[in-house]
Amino acid sequence: MVEKRLARVERLNPDLMGMAFLDGVEVEVPFTAPGDVVEIMRWRRRKGRRVATEYTVVERSSIRVTPGCPHFGGCGGCRAQHLPYEEQIRVKEEGLSEVLGADVRVKPSPRVYGYRNRIDLVLSTSGIGFRRFGTWWDVVDVEECKLFGPSSRRAIRSVRDLIESSGAPKEEMLYDIRRGTGFLRYMVLREGKFTGELMVTLVTSEGEFPEDPSSYFEYADSVYWSVNRTKSDVSYGEVRRFWGGRFIEERIGGVTYGIHPNSFFQTNSYQLVNLLGTVSAMVDGERVLDMYSGIGTFGVFLAKRGFRVVGVDVNPHSIEMARMNARRNGVEATFITSSDRDEVEVRGFDTVIVDPPRPGLHPKFRRRLIKEGPGTVVYVSCNPKTLRRDLEELGSRYRVEEIQGLDMFPHTPHVEVVVKLVRLTN
């Protein structure tokens, strides 16, 4: 729709988008703040909402702050650097309280820049960086990611050098997202914030590097080459080779974790310290099932504090890492590969910790908890909507004792929630 109209941004929605009224209908205006006056030239319907796609800010709100990143406003990596951090926290608290029907407080992240220990940079013919906000094909060229920190600048410069000195045409060396052709697809950076160790993973299509790529990243502790032969736009693949260490290490709350390119690790190391503290304070008794354990983030931390832990995850690679992490930290804990669809034993524990992926608990596992779950369940969630559904279902046998939000993702709309559930006695 093309038309020029002035509107004032009245509020922020839970996606941290400015909301303005045009003739009584609400339009989402990205990268704006309450109090901004915007001229909207064009908007589109997206998933039942109206989103401004062409607009200018004609009057800037007094609450705005200066974004820390020069790419902010086009780059789709984050969307709220222009908002005071307290305002971001307020919106997350309001959103969570509404979804969960309770007054939820969100613990702010100790750092709001340089907090990410992982970024996935797109290497493509349209740029090296992150997807442009609202597109899947266009990429904003970046020199650095401020959410990751200065070592991203160095690595981005190195990958540009590698591409340039190959002498190959851009269309051959870099992936064309629309056509599905080209060699280099992603560069994933992972950094131990408390160890300073850096891992660089280059994800490519099938093919060969013209020369040893690791020579461009001599300062990195580990360099991986992974191959994704599929058309799927994912930033992982089969490991072809690595140089330097097989893992890098991160140290959180006295625990050393090994990080591998193909395993999940919580992305905000500074706030992970608080997440671990929150979870362990909610655990009752000494026998703990760490369901969806990943590499043993909670399980190894708790085992180090004397709890008897069994961890379960569907990913055999993560379980191998969890066992290694237990050994590395000199603790006894059992880690088992299994799915939440299988018969995972929940009896015999005092507490079950669940930290499922975004779709939440599998109905089979949820039913098992309802039928024979222990006195305490600690639910860690990154998706308030599926958390609400699961809490409603579990509500037949459990009551919510405590809810704590934690901001693991400043400048983005995402938020983590930890809920302590206690089994009803009758």
Ligand X SMILES: C[S@@+](CC[C@H](N)C(=O)[O-])C[C@H]1O[C@@H](n2cnc3c(N)ncnc32)[C@H](O)[C@@H]1O
Contact set with ligand X (CB under 6 A):
264-266, 292-295, 297-298, 313-315, 318, 339-341, 355-357, 362
Q: What angle do CA 255, 261, 265 make, to 5 degrees?
A: 40
The answer to whether 382 is a known catalytic residue is yes
**How many Cβ atoms are within 10 Å of 213's Cβ, its own excluded?**
21
Q: Following CA atoms 355, 358, 362, 367 in sequence, which dihedral angle do they give, to the nearest 10 degrees?
A: 60
Least Å distance between CB 269 and ligand X?
12
Cα 282 to Cα 280: distance, rounded to the nearest angstrom? 5
Helical residues (DSSP H) of 6-121, grouped into ranges: 85-100
Tell me the sheet residues that pair with 141.
Answer: 129
Least Å distance between CB 319 and ligand X?
9
User: What torsion do the CA atoms of 43, 123, 15, 6 make, to the nearest 10 degrees?
Assistant: -30
- Minimum distance of ligand X from residue 221's CB (angstroms): 21
- In Å, how far are 62, 210, 259, 370 from 126, measured between CA atoms? 35, 22, 30, 51
Q: Is 10 a catalytic residue?
A: no
The closest alpha carbon to 380, from 372, 390, 371, belongs to 390
Which residue has its beta carbon closest to ligand X?
Answer: 294
The rounded distance, in Å, linking the Cα atoms of 288 and 50 is 46
- Distance of CA 110 to CAs 116, 154, 201, 251, 381, Å? 12, 25, 27, 16, 20
Task: List the structure tokens of 179.
Answer: 């056509």
C-beta of residue 13 within 8 angstroms of C-beta of residue 29: no
Q: Is 298 helix (H, G, I), strand (E, B) or coil?
A: helix
Catalytic residue among 26, 172, 382, 402: 382
Q: Residue 264 and residue 380: Cα distance in Å, rounded?
A: 15
Q: Shortest gap between Cβ of 326 and ligand X (angstroms)? A: 14
Q: What positions carry a catalytic annotation?
A: 382, 416
